[in-house]
Amino acid sequence: MDTHTARPSALTSAPGFTPGRPPEWDLTIFLHGDELQTALITLERNRRTFAWKCWDVDSDGLQLRLGPSAITLGGLLKHLALCEEMKFQSDLTGAPLLPEFRDIDHETTWDTWAWESAKDDDPEALRDLWVRAVHRSRDTLAAILAESGLDHAPAGGMSLRRLISDLIEEYARHTGHADFLREAVDGATGEGPPRNFPVP
């Protein structure tokens, strides 16, 4: 399969995934898309499901903890925004992180920073930070895919294929955490958002 063929930039938000609009499914692409289409659809589905778990939750809900775990919905928003930045800005292109993530020793504070720093953050600011990071990731992917494919890799770095796979794994893991936290906040459950939930 040729993964080097340039793709239209619209594919960086995956077929049917347009920010701010509910998705319009192309069932053929969803069921039989190529490697790139499948990767992007899977990433966008995970992003949208995670967003749904964190929307319409107030400050108390975003700071709710379960048992001894430090994980909160607010912390997850910040953590996954940082993951987006690390994968698709720092690792892929060497671009600087968003200002909120600069001047922090992420190597030594990786296990605590997101949860601790999100405690006093405004709910809309947390959601906005995550959305901005996602939009930056899409823009970066569009630029890379206009010239290359999933095998693209910076010198000495991981391929775009690996970076997308890593981020899908990160979302899948933490959306499971978000499932439990959101149910504890207001009893809301479900595997995926309603059809009218917009794409962040």
The confidence band for 25, taking pLDDT boundaries of 50, 70 and 90, is confident
Window from 5-19, 51-65, 154-168 with minimum mean pLDDT:
5-19
The reported pTM is 0.93
- Summarize pLDDT for 75-112 with one digit per residue, the tens: 999 999 999 999 999 999 999 999 999 999 999 999 99
Q: Where are the alpha helices (DSSP H) in 59-112?
A: 59-62, 73-85, 92-93, 106-109
Type and span of the H or E element at 40: helix 35-54
Helices (H), 118-193: 123-145, 160-186
Token couple for 157: 């770095």
Angstrom CA distances, 171 to 35, 154, 174, stand at: 19, 23, 5
Q: How far is Cα 13 from Cα 137, in angstroms, rounded to an integer?
A: 10
Q: What is the mean pLDDT of residues 7-33?
A: 80
